[in-house]
Amino acid sequence: MKKQWRLMSNLSSRASLQWLFKMAWRDGKASISRLMLFMASIILGIAAVVSIQLFSENLKQNIKNQSKALMGADFIIDSRQLPSKKVQAIIDSLNVAASEVNFVSMAAFPKNDGTKLVKVRAIEGDFPFYGTLDTEPIIASSQYQKSGGALVDATLMLQFNLIPGDSIKLGKLTFPIIGALKSVPGSTAVSSTVAPPVLIPFRFIDDTELLQLGSRKEYQYFFVATPKTDLELLEKKIDPILDYENADLDTHTSTSERLGRRYDNVSKFLNLAAFIALLLGCVGIASSVHIYIKEKLKNVAVLKCIGATRKQTFLIYLIQIAGIGLIGGIIGSSIGVGLQYAFPYFLKGFLPFDVQISITAQPLIMGILLGVLMSVLFALLPLLGTWYVSPLEVLRGTDENLVKPRKARLFTLAAILLFIFLFSFWLLKDALFGLVFTVGILITFSIMAGMASLFMKVIKKYFPSNWGFTERQSLLNLFRPNNQTMVLILAIGLGTFFISTLYFTKDILLAKTSVENNSENANIILMDVQAEQNEAVVNTVISKGLKVINNIPIVTMRMYQIKDKLVNDIRKDSTSTMNQWILNHEFRVTYRDSLLVSEELLEGVWIKKREPGESILVSISDNIARDADLEIGDQLIFNVQGVLMETSIGSIRKVDWGRMQVNFSVVFPIGVLENAPQFNVVTTNVQNEVNSADLQRDLVKKFPNISVLDLRQMYTIIEDILDKISWIINFMAFFSILTGIIVLIGSVKNSKYQRIKESVLLRTLGAKSKQIIRITALEYVYLGILGSLLGILLSLISSQLLATLLFKEPFIPSVVPFLVFLPGITILVLIIGLSNIRSVLKSPPLEVLRKES
């Protein structure tokens, strides 16, 4: 007999798959309004993830394009000498697209007998391949090669009152000036530019006779990569070979990385926003399904009573939830894609660039998969209830015998945590961060659940029995059976937690961009200021109404001995792995007693001052330590313009080279170099081009030896990027916060079905509208205040941790979440709560019960 039932059971299961879908559809169709709230959470979460992922991809692409524009090519091979056979073979094999030789030389202007140190760039080919030669007139950029003229830096032309048609003499040749050069890729980096650029066609370079043996020059070869080229791999493979031949490979990706930590942080923030938006969606799903399934348990008991198996009843609702997840995922992904296309329309006038939209398949597929996965996973806990509900409930009408399977619940929770970990790992590409995020969410969830539980216990224990009826009823609602305290505090608390965390994080990043965008940053650098000129130069700057931001002493020197080996010996040693640039580089060194904001001490002790008789402890940047294989205590002997100076490494610093300020690889303590031959670098900030030219004219007239470096062009690019970043941070934060608010509305709206029967019963027993409103309002106010306060307080901790560990920026909490989110969310919860019982107040009790059932 038992065998016979097993056989029947199997046959029945096989025959009923179609029926399960049919039942899921029938039941879902009748519950469409409740499921819509559930679907809204999925749609918003997925829309946020997909739009952020796509936008993040597009942003990366746009910034990548800008980094290409800064370089003018995908990658460059450069060398201080004519390439060796080996290097030339590599250049040829990589299919060079353009080349140049550049060097610093004096230029003369016959028009007014002026002279100026310039950087001559002799170019062959259609350089640049990204970005543009911005010239005045525009046509000059395409004519200079053909007509054999020169493009001269625009500020330089202003300084010397030059106009197109005038001439410039470089060595033995005089070139007609075809146009003013406003910007050119490759002429923005501080390290390579100490003189304004002048572009000439390469074919005239020999006739200038400026390329003498031994003169300081640089050969550059520009390449355009195919879309499939892995630049990182290329750099990894070829750079060591080139290094050995005294050449170097630079990719545009490494240039964009050098734009600094700002970009990294924005990328991290966008991923955080996506992560939070999705988690908000999950909170919405969990709270909606919890209440939805609770309502369905009676149906499950009836189905079991009339012969449905546990598997069948479980599958009916699993199919329903997965189906909603699939539809939500598709709609959410479509909205995410739609938002991409809508961005350029919304952003007209806001964004300083045209967004190039392209849709990649990965975020779309992920969006749909995530929709199904997050729905099923976060619905699984309440769904488990359908498996264990007893058919006896039909007769008894209570769920007191409902088994709560510990193992299955733990398994589900573990699966949820794994999902969060994998999702954060996918976004952050860092297992440790993913783990920290997951544990952080678990701790936050536990604290909230613990606080909600404690809250209920405290109210129960210290219940104010002498309060009035409505006040007591509202408090009773918080802990009696069928209460919604835990679910709503978790939903409101987690929702507020995510919203506030995002708000605080947004502040952390925007504070940084605004600090860097002010007039405290130097945009004019005056080089080669001799010691005896220093005071007069400073006075000239001040007389123009400008502020001297830095006045930095610089001593030039070269490495003479590294550890116990002479540099000359290392050069000859074919087994040496030391990076060649260290051996040949002329270091510009300063001395000071403190670290800059762009520096971070990694190892050793920062020495402020060297007392007489003590050894000299210098600080080196981490890239020197890496390239020369140096450690704390290692000996370095410098050749300071003929004098050997023995030092030891006292500290190693991390330097943010991307910051627009004068940074140094080697820093001496005070009390060593004061009497060495030196010059100063003076920095200031000018408002505009005219002020810049005015200052430069004055300085060149009084101090012809001084080179003036104008960083404003570089700043314009950086400011453009920062503007984009600020806008995107604000937009994404706003989008995720909106998601959170809608999820909150959904969660509280769903709680309607918990309270409607009680309210109708009270109405039946004669309660006045005012009493029902008061009971409901107080309950939602308690839940709103506790949930949002918990969320904001915990977000302070999470934001501090994010600031310290992820963004590495200081965190100063804003009061906005306390002043706006706390009352705002409480009022929102109250309004939705009251709207839930509107039908009870307006219609007869029986009508409400019929309608709501």
Partner 1 sequence: MTKILNIHELEKTYTSGSKKLTVLSNISFEVEKGSTFSIVGPSGSGKTTLLGLCAGLDHPSNGTIELCGSKLEDLNEDERAQLRNKKVGFIFQNFQLLPTLTALENVIVPLELQGNKNAAKMGMELLQKVGLADRFHHYPSQLSGGEQQRVALARAFSNKPSILFADEPTGNLDEETGEKVIQLLFQLNKEAGTTLVIITHDLDLANRTQQILRLKGGKIMSNEKTMEINE
691 binds partner 1 (CB under 8 A): no
Q: Contacts with partner 1 in 359-418 (CB under 8 A)?
A: 390-392, 394-397
**Facing residues of 116 across strands?**
107
Closest distance to partner 1 from the beta carbon of 838 (Å): 20
| CA pair distance 790, 770, nearest whole angstrom | 30
Of 77, 400, 127, the residue nearest 249 (C-alpha): 77
228 binds partner 1 (CB under 8 A): no
Residue entry with tokens 């678990």: 442
The 119-158 contact track toward partner 1, x by CB under 8 A, reads ----------------------------------------
Which lies closer to partner 1 via its Cβ, residue 387 or residue 425?
A: 387
Q: Contacts with partner 1 in 611-640 (CB under 8 A)?
A: none
The 814-853 contact track toward partner 1, x by CB under 8 A, reads ------------------------------------xx-x
Write out the two tokens for 717: 């690019």
Phi, psi of 250 (to 5 degrees): -120, 130
CB 832 within 8 A of CB 745: yes
| CA pair distance 524, 398, nearest whole angstrom | 79
2 binds partner 1 (CB under 8 A): yes
Using CB under 8 A, count the residues that bind partner 1: 41
| CA pair distance 332, 450, nearest whole angstrom | 33
Phi, psi of 666 (to 5 degrees): -125, 130
Cis status of the peptide bond prior to 110, with omega within 30 of 0? no
Among 29, 85, 404, 572, binds partner 1 (CB under 8 A): 29
534 binds partner 1 (CB under 8 A): no
Which lies closer to partner 1 via its Cβ, residue 308 or residue 441?
A: 308
Write out the two tokens for 523: 């945009």
584 binds partner 1 (CB under 8 A): no
For 340-369, b/e burial (b = at least 16 CB within 10 A) is beebeeebeeebeeebebeeeeebbebbbe
12 binds partner 1 (CB under 8 A): yes
Coil, strand or helix: which one is 548? strand
Which lies closer to partner 1 via its Cβ, residue 358 or residue 853?
A: 853
Closest distance to partner 1 from the beta carbon of 343 (Å): 41
39 binds partner 1 (CB under 8 A): no
Is the Cα torsion angle 237, 242, 248, 249 positive or negative in sign? Answer: negative
Which lies closer to partner 1 via its Cβ, residue 26 or residue 236?
A: 26
9 binds partner 1 (CB under 8 A): yes
172 binds partner 1 (CB under 8 A): no
Residues contacting 683, CB < 8 A, separation 6+: 522, 524, 525, 526, 548, 549, 550, 551, 552, 661, 662
Of the ranges 7-15, 131-139, 350-358, 365-373, which one interacts with partner 1 (CB under 8 A)? Answer: 7-15
309 binds partner 1 (CB under 8 A): yes
Span between the terminal Cα atoms of the chain, in Å: 41
Among 65, 84, 299, 730, binds partner 1 (CB under 8 A): 299
Among 60, 294, 310, 592, binds partner 1 (CB under 8 A): 310
The 493-532 contact track toward partner 1, x by CB under 8 A, reads ----------------------------------------
Among 33, 226, 228, 307, binds partner 1 (CB under 8 A): 307
Among 97, 234, 305, 459, binds partner 1 (CB under 8 A): 305
- Within 13 A of 532's CA, how many CA atoms are on the CB side? 3
The identity of residue 336, as a single letter, is: G
Phi, psi of 149 (to 5 degrees): -105, -175
22 binds partner 1 (CB under 8 A): yes
Which lies closer to partner 1 via its Cβ, residue 18 or residue 675?
A: 18
27 binds partner 1 (CB under 8 A): yes
8 binds partner 1 (CB under 8 A): yes
| CA pair distance 547, 229, nearest whole angstrom | 47
Which lies closer to partner 1 via its Cβ, residue 15 or residue 815?
A: 15
Secondary structure percentages of the chain, helix, strand, coil, to 5: 60, 15, 25
Site for partner 1, rule CB under 8 A? 1-2, 5-6, 8-9, 11-12, 15-16, 19, 22-23, 26-27, 29-31, 298-299, 302-312, 390-392, 394-397, 850-851, 853
